[in-house]
Structures are given as structure tokens and as C-alpha cells.
């Protein structure tokens, strides 16, 4: 892009020498250490223009001195300032993308906006059969909640809009967003979404995360094709996403789903019944205890799915997380008959694909079993990876054959 000049009338945040490069490179996070100074006239939540040490315009962002990310960047074009119309256009583009992908329709569940990946750092918008759930993960978005809600109404007229927050992220941003219904009524009765021809009940009022793990949509189908006539153990099954795909799409002979949450297991049972699946059973028990007990009992399966919760939220705990992945995967492998299928996932963003693969290397060496990776997968297509922000890729899903 041609060199751009700073714009009059917008507070300036000046970058330190040599700190502008990644930001010219369109990474949306400007850390505290990148700044020489930020104009006092810009309060937290206000718009600033970032200027390089040679006085060149870099980007428009929103400042938040309470966060390690001192400014989140949204536009690299001096002619595209962060007006209400700008936010609306960004939302419209993200929604159009899901339409284009064929994911956005009345009975669907899909992620309409995935934060940085859609140029809206700090905002997640999930859609569940007409109902919208927002996650506000940045002050910049909290301050613009009214604009976002108005734009969503204009663009897709949702039946209801609710907001949720994640405590850890909010603390890092210095914000408090109480879970609330902003508009319409969130049904207390169950609602249903259809995914790959399977209906799932959603618990929008009290479910985990935003109610359903949309990011595994395509991995469920991909895994299912290896399950014909096989006995499948689905660890950390939540509402039965992989289990029901295994039974209904994959023709598994028997499926056992395990989750530690009673509520999830009740959901999974109702989902099985609703979809006419009679060869899946679900048990509420601690997964780590269950794995150990199954290994001790010498149980064997033809396929094991491991989709645990995040083992670490920080880089600091990465070694413990890797040990935990090693441990569950080793047990998973131990439960497999020769020629069995291991579907193993990690949703810890701090654990890289390479690290995760190294964990499997360790498991192969320690267990003396050959592990062949058949497919290396990531999150569903409504959770894209923005190449200028690799942090948008967090989910790893390896489908392996274990000899
Ligand atoms: N596979 C699921 C998503 C799994 S999310 C799907 O396709 O929808 C991780 C799940 O792990 C959550 O449902 C959570 O309840 C469960 N979980 C977390 N800790 C657990 C534990 N110690 N034992 C069993 N389940 C656990």
C-alpha cells in the first residue's frame, strides 16, 4: 500500500522505532511494548491512529491501556475510519461470508463473526436457529455494543440477542460484561439446530460456551467415515456431536459417550432419542477416572475420540498441558485394537500443531504402537484462520490409525 499520512483531528499513538513492522503487516494487536506514547486525549475505548516513528499512518485502532494489548487495530486504510458505518460493513461482510459458505440458514448453527478472523477483534457472534449469542472479549467491542446490536437487527433481525462473557478474558481487558439478554426472549424451552442432517437440542439459557461446539462440525463428518461397523468411545462428548455423527452418518456398531457434566449427558441422551439413534449410550463420569478404569480393565475399542477442554489458557502452563495431552492420548491408544482409529483434538491455542504432533510421537514411542496420521484438521470453515493473525487457529483435530 502507498504511504499514508496521518489524519487531522484523531488522537495519535506513536510506535517505537522498529515496532511498526508487524502492524504494517496487518496483525491486529498492538502490545504495550510497541508504543512510544499514546495521546492522553484518547480515553480507553476511544479511537486512535497509530503512527510509525517516521510519522507515517499505520492503522486505526481502539485504545485500552488496561490490557496488554494496548490497541486493537481494525483498519489499515486512512480513508476507512472507524465510524458506525464501518462496523456495520464489517459485520455485513462476515455474515455474507457465512451465507456464501452455505452455513447461514434458518435452522442452522454457525459462527457469524469470529473475532480477528473477521477483522472484528474481540467480538464473537454465534447464530443458533434465529437466536444470536454475543461474546464481548474486548473493551473496543463493549463500548460499541449498541452499534453492533443495531447493525445485527438491521442485517439479520434475530429473534433474540444475548451476551456472554468469559471471566478470564474480561479480566485481561479490564471489563465486566454480565451475561444478559439484550433483546427479545431467549427461549427457556429447548431449541434445535440441524447439523449434517442431525438435530441437536440446545440449551441457550444454561449451556456451556455459547451452547454448542460449532467448531467441530466438519470434523464430526470427517471422523464418521472411518467408523463403519466399529465400536466407538467418544470421550468428552458434551451433547453427543461426534457420537451421533458416528452412529447416524458413520454406521458405527456401538457408541459410548462420556462427559463429566450431568447436564451434557442428559442433552446427549435426548439428542440420540430425537434422532432415532438406539446404539449409543452416554455416561456421566470423570473422563480421566474412566480412561484409567477402562485401561485397567483391559477394555478395547475400534475407535476412540478425545476432545478434552482447553488444558491451558496461558503459555506459561504449556508443559503441564502437553503432559496432560500425552497422558490422555496414551490411554486412548492403549484402548484401541490394532488398526483402530484415534480422533484426537486440542483446542488450546497455545499448543501448536507441531507440539501436538510431538505429543503423539511420544505416545507412539512409549506405547510401541505405530500411529499414522490420516488427516490433520482444524476448526470448521466458519472459524477461519486469518493469515495475518495466526492466533486465530486454535483447534487441532488429527485423525489417526493406530497399529
Ligand atoms: N466433543 C464435544 C465437545 C467437547 S468440549 C462436541 O463435539 O460437542 C469438552 C467437554 O469436556 C465438555 O463437555 C466438558 O463438560 C467435558 N469435561 C471437562 N472436564 C471433564 C472431565 N474431567 N471429565 C469428563 N468430562 C469433562
Predicted confidence (pLDDT) per residue in 263-285, tens digit:
999 999 999 999 999 999 999 99
Residue 285 CB contacts under 8 Å (≥ 6 apart), including other chains = 258, 260
Query: Which three cell numbers mark 212?
Result: 454448542
pLDDT at 234 over 90: yes
Give the range among 75-84, 184-193, 212-221, 348-357 with minimum mean pLDDT.
Answer: 184-193
Rounded mean pLDDT of 307-313?
A: 92
Instruction: Report the topology of domain 12-75.
Output: 2.30.130
Task: Decide: 112 and 98 in contact? Cβ < 8 Å.
Answer: yes
Query: How much is the average pLDDT of 74-95?
Result: 97
399, 253, 292: which is closest to 340 by C-alpha?
399
Q: Is the CB of 267 under 6 A from ligand 1?
A: no
Residue pLDDT, tens place only, 324-333: 999 999 999 9
The HSE-up count of residue 42 (CA atoms within 13 Å, CB side) is 24
C-alpha cell at 25: 503487516
Ligand 1, atom 20, lies closest to the CA of: 260
pLDDT at position 206? 60
Which ligand 1 atom minimizes the distance to the CA of 239?
8
Among 138-147, 207-216, 313-322, which is the least confidently predicted range? 207-216
Q: Average of pLDDT values for 44-66? A: 95
In this structure, of 77-81, 312-316, 393-397, the range with the lowest mean pLDDT score is: 312-316
Report CA(160)–ligand 1 centroid distance (Å): 27
Asked whether 241 lines ligand 1 (CB < 6 A), one says yes
Cα 253 to Cα 2, 340, 354, distances in angstroms: 61, 14, 34
Report pLDDT for 207: 47
Q: Whose CA is nearest to atom 16 of ligand 1?
A: 236
Banded model confidence at residue 354, pLDDT cuts 50, 70, 90: very high
How far does residue 236's CA lie from ligand 1's centre (Å)? 4
Who wins on pLDDT, 6 or 45?
45
Q: What is the mean pLDDT of residues 69-95?
A: 97
Contact yes or no for 121/138 (Cβ under 8 A): yes
Q: Which positions are annotated as active-site residues?
A: 347
DSSP alpha helix (H) spans, 46-202: 84-100, 139-142, 145-156, 167-173
For the chain, the average pLDDT equals 94
CATH of 213-402, one of 3.90.1150.10, 3.40.50.300, 3.40.50.150, 3.40.50.1100: 3.40.50.150
Tell how far the Cα of 309 is from the centroid of ligand 1, in angstroms.
6
- The CB of 305 under 6 Å from ligand 1? The reply is no
Counted residue by residue, the chain has a size of 403
Give pLDDT, residue 27.
95
pLDDT over threshold 60, residue 14: yes
Question: pLDDT, tens digit, for every residue of 153-184?
Answer: 999 999 999 998 788 888 889 999 988 999 99
Domain ranges across the chain: 12-75, 84-184, 213-402
Residue 1's pLDDT band, with cuts at 50, 70 and 90, is low
For residues 201 and 178, the answer to whether their CB atoms sit within 8 Å is no
Q: Give the model confidence (pLDDT) of 125-143 as tens digits.
A: 999 999 999 999 999 999 9
Pocket of ligand 1 contains residue 311 by CB under 6 Å:
no
Separation between Cα atoms, residue 368 and residue 224, nearest integer Å? 26
Question: Is the minimum distance from the CB of 259 to ligand 1 under 6 angstroms?
Answer: yes
Closest residue by Cα to atom 18, ligand 1, is: 309
Pocket test for ligand 1, best of 218, 309, 346 (most atoms within 8 A of CB): 309
pLDDT at residue 350 is higher than 80: yes
Q: State whether the beta carbon of 221 lies less than 6 angstroms from ligand 1.
A: no
CA of 307 to the centre of ligand 1 (A): 7
**In contact, 36 and 16? CB cutoff 8 Å:** yes
pLDDT at 188: 82
Q: In this structure, are residues 237 and 244 in contact, taking their beta carbons and an 8 Å threshold?
A: no
Fold adopted by 84-184: Transcription Regulator spoIIAA (3.30.750)
Short-list 187, 199, 196, 195, CA closest to 133: 187
Task: Fill in the DSSP letter of residue 118.
Answer: G
Q: How confident is the model at residue 96 (pLDDT cuts 50, 70, 90)?
A: very high
347 lines ligand 1 (CB under 6 A): no
Amino acid at each position: 500500500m502507498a504511504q499514508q499520512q496521518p489524519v487531522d483531528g484523531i488522537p495519535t499513538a506513536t510506535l517505537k522505532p522498529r515496532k511498526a513492522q508487524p502492524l504494517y503487516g496487518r496483525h491486529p494487536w498492538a502490545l504495550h511494548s510497541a508504543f512510544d506514547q499514546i495521546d492522553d486525549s484518547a480515553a480507553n475505548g476511544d479511537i486512535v491512529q497509530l503512527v510509525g516513528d517516521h510519522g507515517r499512518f499505520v492503522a486505526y485502532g481502539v485504545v485500552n491501556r488496561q490490557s496488554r494489548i494496548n490497541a486493537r487495530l481494525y483498519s489499515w486504510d486512512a480513508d476507512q475510519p472507524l465510524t458506525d458505518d464501518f462496523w456495520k460493513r464489517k459485520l455485513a461482510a462476515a455474515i455474507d461470508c457465512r451465507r456464501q459458505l452455505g452455513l447461514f440458514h434458518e435452522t442452522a448453527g454457525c459462527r457469524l463473526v469470529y473475532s480477528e478472523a473477521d477483522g472484528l477483534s474481540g467480538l464473537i457472534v454465534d447464530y443458533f436457529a434465529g437466536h444470536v449469542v454475543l461474546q464481548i472479549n474486548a473493551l473496543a467491542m463493549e463500548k460499541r455494543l449498541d452499534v453492533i446490536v443495531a447493525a445485527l437487527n438491521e442485517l439479520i433481525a434475530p429473534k433474540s440477542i444475548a451476551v456472554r462473557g468469559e471471566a478470564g478474558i474480561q479480566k485481561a481487558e479490564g471489563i465486566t460484561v454480565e451475561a444478559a439478554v439484550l433483546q427479545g426472549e431467549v427461549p427457556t424451552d429447548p431449541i434445535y439446530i440441524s447439523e449434517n442432517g442431525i438435530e441437536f437440542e440446545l440449551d441457550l439459557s444454561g449451556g456451556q460456551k455459547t451452547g454448542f461446539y460449532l467448531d467441530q462440525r466438519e470434523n464430526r463428518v470427517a471422523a464418521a467415515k472411518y467408523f463403519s461397523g466399529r465400536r466407538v468411545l467418544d470421550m468428552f462428548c458434551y451433547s453427543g456431536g461426534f457420537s451421533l455423527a458416528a452412529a447416524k452418518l458413520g454406521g458405527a456398531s456401538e457408541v459410548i459417550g462420556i462427559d463429566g457434566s450431568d447436564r451434557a449427558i442428559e442433552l446427549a441422551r435426548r439428542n440420540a432419542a430425537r434422532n432415532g439413534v438406539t446404539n449409543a449410550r452416554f455416561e456421566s463420569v470423570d473422563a480421566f477416572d474412566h480412561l484409567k478404569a477402562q485401561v485397567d480393565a483391559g477394555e478395547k475399542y475400534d475407535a476412540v475420540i478425545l476432545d478434552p477442554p482447553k488444558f491451558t489458557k496461558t503459555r506459561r502452563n504449556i508443559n503441564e498441558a502437553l503432559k496432560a495431552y500425552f497422558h490422555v492420548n496414551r490411554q486412548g491408544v492403549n484402548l484401541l485394537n490394532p488398526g483402530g482409529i484415534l480422533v484426537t483434538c486440542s483446542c488450546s491455542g497455545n499448543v501448536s500443531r507441531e507440539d501436538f504432533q510431538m505429543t503423539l510421537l511420544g505416545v507412539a514411542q512409549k506405547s510401541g504402537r505405530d500411529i499414522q496420521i490420516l488427516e490433520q484438521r482444524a476448526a470448521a470453515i466458519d472459524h477461519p484462520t486469518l493469515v495475518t493473525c495466526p492466533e486465530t487457529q486454535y483447534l487441532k483435530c488429527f485423525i489417526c490409525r493406530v497399529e
